[in-house]
Structure 1
Amino acid sequence: MDEDISRKRKVQRYEEFVDKRLKPDLVKAIAERDKVFHKQKMFLDLKKNIENLENNGITNLRSMVNLGSEVYMQAEVPDTRHIFVDIGLGFHVEFTWSEALQFISVREARLARQIEEYTQLIANIKAQIKMVCEGIRELLQIRAE
C-alpha cells in the first residue's frame, strides 16, 4: 500500500515537472525561434528589394508608407542608392546597396545559426518530455501489475 502511494506521488511530481517546467520551456523556445524566423524573412525581403532596385536601375521612388494604425501617406524617395537599415537595439545605419547586401549576408548567417540552436533546444525539450512520459508509463504499468 505504501508502495502504491509512493508511486502515485512520483507520477504526480513527474507530471507537474512536464506541465510546469518542460511544456512552458518548449512554448517559449518555439516562440523565440518564430521571432528569429520573422527577422530572417524581413532581411530576405530587404535583400530582394535592394536587388530589384539594383537590377532595374531605380534611383528614385514613390511609395505608400504606413504611419501606424493603418494610416498611410505617399512618400517620395529622391535617392534610393543610400538606405537606412535597422541593425538592432533601435539603431539604424545608412548603407549603400552593396554595403547593405554585405550586412544582410552576415546577418542571415547569424540568424540561421540561431534558428539551428533553437531547433536543437526544441528537440532536446521534446526528448525530455518523451523520456519523462515514458517513466510515468512504466510506473503506471508496475502499479497495474
Structure 2
Amino acid sequence: MDNLRQEKVQRFEEFVDKRLKPDLVHAIAQRDKVFEQQKIFADLGKNIENLEKNSVTSLRTLVNLGSEVYLQAEVIWIPCGVYLVRSSELHRKKGRKDSQIEEYTQLIASIKAQIKLVCEGIRELLQLPAEKSLPERIF
C-alpha cells in the first residue's frame, strides 16, 4: 500500500477514534440523562395523582435545600387550582424531555452513519471486499 493511501487511512481512523466515537458516547450519555429526568417527572406526576386520588391534604417531607442540606416541611394541598398548575407544568416539561430525547436519538443515528461512512471509505482505500450485511456494531 502506498504512503498516501496509508496516511489517509490513518487520518480516517483517528477521526473515528478521536472525534466520532467520543461524540457518540457523549450523545448517548446526554440522552440517558434526559431519560432519567423524564422518569423523575413521570414518577412525580404519578405521586401527585395518588395523593389526589387518596384525598391526602397534607404530608410531611424533607426538602433538599442544596449541598445535601435538608429541611423538614409540611406540604399542604390546596385543591383550588394548584394541582392543575403543577400538572400542566409537568406535562410541559415531559413534552420538552420527549423532544430532547428525539433530538439526541437523531444525533446518535447521524454519528453512527458517519462512522459507517468513514469505515466504508477506509475499506475502499484498503481495497477490501464489501462486507456482508452484519448486525449493527455498538461503538
**2: CA distance between counterparts of 1:100 and 1:11?**
55
**2: CA distance between counterparts of 1:140 and 1:80?**
69
**2: CA distance between counterparts of 1:64 and 1:106?**
25
- How far residue 67 of structure 1 moved from its aligned partner, in angstroms, is 8.1
Report 1:104-119 matches (<5 A): 104-119=90-105
- The number of equivalent residue pairs is 127
2:89 matched residue in structure 1: 103
Q: Structure 2: which 5+ runs fail to align?
A: 129-139
TM-score normalised by the chain length of structure 1 = 0.75
RMSD over aligned CA atoms reads 2.3
**2: CA distance between counterparts of 1:110 and 1:119?**
14
Report 1:17-56 matches (<5 A): 17-56=15-54
**2: CA distance between counterparts of 1:13 and 1:109?**
41
Q: Structure 1: which 5+ runs fail to align?
A: 83-94
**1: CA distance between counterparts of 2:70 and 2:45?**
24
Matched residues, percent identical? 65
Q: Evaluate the alpha carbon distance shift between residue 107 and residue 74 of structure 1 in structure 2; reply closer, same or farther with a 3 A threshold.
A: closer
Q: Evaluate the alpha carbon distance shift between residue 76 and residue 40 of structure 1 in structure 2; reply closer, same or farther with a 3 A threshold.
A: same
Deviations 1:102-132, CA, capped at 9 Å, x for gaps = 1111111111111101100000000000110
Report 1:1-145 matches (<5 A): 4-63=2-61, 76-77=74-75, 79-81=76-78, 96-141=82-127
Deviations 1:73-97, CA, capped at 9 Å, x for gaps = 87543x1338xxxxxxxxxxxx811
TM-score normalised by the chain length of structure 2 = 0.78
